[in-house]
Each structure stands twice: as structure tokens, then as C-alpha cells.
Structure 1
Amino acid sequence: MSGLREGKLKIKAPTLMKIATTSKELICLFFLTLSLLYMILRITMFVLTNTFDFVIYSKTLESNLWDLAWSTDIIMGFICFFASSLYFKNRILSFSIFLMTMFSMSIWVFMMLGSKSLIPISDPSLKGNYATHQYLYPEYHDTVVLAITVYKESYPLLYKAANSTTESVSDDDTETITLFNKADYKISDDGKTLSYGKLKISLE
């Protein structure tokens, strides 16, 4: 009986090893496929933003997906690096992926400094989805520059600049500056104009 049990164990051990190896390969292959799909997505995003001047924005997440992708690049880079290290015997590919991931990490801070935060615009009178990118900076000792760009959704998640304006206001105009800082906007009854106190911009 003891001999039979040992024989069964000897048969089962290689089988378990084979199953474990196959499972590891399938998991690695899954993450490699996921990384490939992500790379295709990033190339598509690059073309849309740099060639067609779209801003990729999710109103639900209230997030600029192009800026968010710089952080996702690092995560996906490490996933692809570990998966390729375990799946391929050739280390050149894995090392190349590692270098690309390190490069993504090195430029991450600069990309975040140049990120474009968008503010969603919601109002019952609006006939489409809108978002704004706005900022202010001092011009002279008694004036402040208010800059705003209005983006309109052309396709799902794809926004394009519809209008922009830059206006100098006096430091004394605290109402306009405060409303602008708080993004406390008003939409006209016809849904065509956005305003912050004295600052007005067309949504068309």
C-alpha cells in the first residue's frame, strides 16, 4: 500500500508543476495583452490630443484623462516589466520596458506641473456638455488677469475648445475675482453665455 501511495505522489508532483507553470504563463500572457492594448490606447490618445487638439475629459470622474494617463503609464510599465520578465527568456525586452518605465517616472513631475484641470459646467439650459480651464495671475500692482477657455464635448469623452478670453480686472473688483476663484459661474437664460461677475464668455 505504501509503495502505491508513493507512486501516486510521484505522478501527481510533475502534474502539479505543469499546471502551476501553465497558470503562470497564462497570467503573464494576460497582463502582456493588457499592456499591448494600453499602448494602443495611449498612441490613440496622443494622436487625438496632438493632431486633432482634443481634450480627453471624463465629466463623471471630473478628470482630464490625458493627465491621469501619465500616472497610469508608470503602473502599467511595472506590470508589463514583471510579466515580460517571467514570460520571456530574452531579457532585452524586459530591460527596455524597465528603462521606458523609469523615463515615465522621471518626467511625471513635469507632466503634472503642466496638467490642465477642467471644471465641468452644468445647467438645465445647456444643450451639450461643457467644461472650462481657467486661471488667474497678477498683471500690475492693481490689476489681475483672468483667463478662461471653454471646451465643448464633440464626441463622448472628447472635448474641443469652443471659445477663450483673457481679461484684466481691477483688484477692487473682488466680486468677479472671488466668483472666478470659486468657479461660481452663472449661465444665461438662453444657455449661450457663462459669466463670473463682470467677466462674460460665449459658450458657442
Structure 2
Amino acid sequence: MTNTVLHIDASARRTGSTTRDLSDRIVKHLGASRIIRRDLATPLPLLTEAWINANFTPADQRDAVQRDLLSLSDALVTELQEADTVVIGLPIYNFSVPAAFKAWIDLVARAGLTFSYSENGPKGLLDGKRAVLAIASGGTAVGSEIDFATDYAKHVLGFIGIHNVDVIAADKMALDAETTLSNAQKAVSELAA
């Protein structure tokens, strides 16, 4: 059993979303004792010059305004640090990830908190965690040459140290939604808890 799950939904659709349904099923299947919820349909701010300057100011030298600018990012990083498993409902929008998910990535990929630099390149600091991606698309096949979402999400998670990533795909829904959903739901039930 997973102790703490960070459940992230990136779909702009609050109702009728395949990824929301699948990610809910995954979270229930995992049987976590604690669930941290992050719904990206509530917009996250985009990075600004002031945010970047605050981020690159050493923590002990930040003023109150800079600490305030980074407070949401700090909270998002803490959610990741506290989770054993990250479940992400991730639709493919126009062959890639939703802008809301990219905004989340920009706020959590922070040197010294979720990754560090070394002589051998960057090293993720969130080792030992697992991620499960519930990915849906209308016409894009997951893993195909036009899917720029799945490998990107897996790469970013690996960059911050999460290398154990499972993918539950409900792709090409516009072609055969019933079979696709049935297969995805079966994959959830077969997912190792």
C-alpha cells in the first residue's frame, strides 16, 4: 500500500474528462492512507522575471517579496517531497502537455530542491518515488512520433529523480472510445499497488 499519493489533474475539463476518471481510479486502486490533491484547472502563475530572480537569490538572502513570490512553488515542491507516488491525469492537447502542466513543471523543477547540478550533469533529488501517468488523447497514439507529451512527462519526472513511471493510456479515443476505455480500466486494475 502506498502511504501518500500526490494526485494531479491537468485536464481543463472538470467534468467528462477521461484522464480525471482514470486518475481517480488509479488513486482508489493504490489505496493510499493520505491523498494530496492538486487540480491544475485552477491556473498556476507563469514564471516572471521577478520570480526567476527570487529563485536564483540564495534562500537566506531573499527579502519578504521574494519569499512571497516563491511561496506557491515551495508548497508544490513540498507536495512532491511528501508523496510516495505521484498520479497524474494528463490529456494530450495538440500533441503535447496542457499549458497548465507545463506551468506546474516550471514551478517544481528547482535547482537545490528537486534537482542539483554535479560534474556529471543534473541529478534528481526525488529518488525512490513512483509516478503513474493516466494519458488520454483523441487521435494521437501514445508513444507515437506525434506524441510529444508522454516522453516529455517521463523525462521531466526522471530529471527530478522519479524514474519509476507507469503509463495507463486511453489514446485515440476518437476512433474507438469504448474499447480504449475498457483497456485502460483493465490496465488500472492490473497496476501493482
TM-score (norm 1): 0.27
Bigger strand fraction: 1
Bigger helix fraction: 1
Query: Which structure has the bigger radius of gyration?
Result: 1
TM-score (norm 2): 0.28
